[in-house]
Amino acid sequence: MSNIHPSTRIGHIHLKVADLDRALAFYCGVLGFQLMQRIGRDAAFISAGGYHHHIGLNTWESRGGSPPAPGTTGLYHTAILYPDRASLADALRRLRDAGVALEGAADHGVSEALYLHDPDGNGVELYRDRPESEWPRDAQGGLAMFTRALDLDALLKAAPRSAT
């Protein structure tokens, strides 16, 4: 069996939410995504940079619903890749300004990541990759990822002075 084409990417995610306005307040108001289209009170499509959508939000099967119970299968988290450390630092600043609590923060050697839940209980990872030349390697040249505490104060110092 051959491998998938190396340029293949995950195109977008679509999340079931209980309250569309609450979800938009988090993803657009706090994280800064742009609303591209809203379909009444049932669905919305949001993006970074004007793409048709990176995230779809809908209440088609979930209006007023509860988050999935612990111990059940489903999406563990959505991972949102930021282009650089300054952008991830800006995301941390936005979360702190909005009073959104982190559930974790880690340095994985290949990346730096912030972990939280959205208002519907969906897991969210905000991260930035390090350049591949900086990835930790073992003696044989294989990938040697790890999990260490991320210094949030040092990360915040990389934030731009004014938000865009």
CB atoms within 10 A of CB 154: 11
**pLDDT of res. 11:** 87
Q: Both 30 and 104 in a single domain?
A: no
Please compute the mean of the pLDDT values over residues 116-125 and round it to a whole number. 96
Q: Both 86 and 162 in a single domain?
A: yes
- Is residue 116 domain-resident? yes
- Is residue 69 domain-resident? no
Containing domain of residue 117, as a range?
77-164
- Is residue 4 domain-resident? no
89 vs 5, higher pLDDT: 89
User: Which of the four pLDDT bands, split at 50, 70 and 90, describes residue 125?
Assistant: very high
- The average confidence (pLDDT) of the chain is 94
Q: Both 161 and 90 in a single domain?
A: yes
Q: Both 40 and 94 in a single domain?
A: no
Q: Both 87 and 146 in a single domain?
A: yes
**DSSP states of 58-127 as a string?**
E-TTTTTPPPPPTT--S---EEEEESSHHHHHHHHHHHHHTTPPPSEEEE-SSEEEEEEE-TTS-EEEEE
**pLDDT of res. 17:** 97
Percent of the chain clearing pLDDT 90 (strictly above)? 87
What distance in Å separates the CA atoms of residue 46 and residue 27, rounded to the nearest whole number?
A: 8
Q: Where residue 115 sits, what CATH number does that domain have?
A: 3.30.720.110
- Is residue 160 domain-resident? yes
Prediction pTM value: 0.90
Q: Both 160 and 85 in a single domain?
A: yes
Is the pLDDT assigned to residue 164 strictly greater than 80? no
Strand pairing category for 104-107 and 111-117: antiparallel
Q: Where residue 23 sits, what CATH number does that domain have?
A: 3.10.180.10
Each residue's pLDDT tens digit, 13-68: 999 999 999 999 999 999 999 999 999 999 999 999 999 999 999 999 999 999 98
The total domain count for the chain is 2
**pLDDT of res. 162:** 62
Is the pLDDT assigned to residue 5 strictly greater than 90? no
- Is residue 130 domain-resident? yes
Residue 91 tokens, joined: 């995301």
- Is residue 88 domain-resident? yes
**pLDDT of res. 128:** 97
Q: Both 82 and 140 in a single domain?
A: yes
Please compute the mean of the pLDDT values over residues 2-19 and round it to a whole number. 91
Q: Both 81 and 162 in a single domain?
A: yes
What distance in Å separates the CA atoms of residue 72 and residue 152, rounded to the nearest whole number?
A: 31
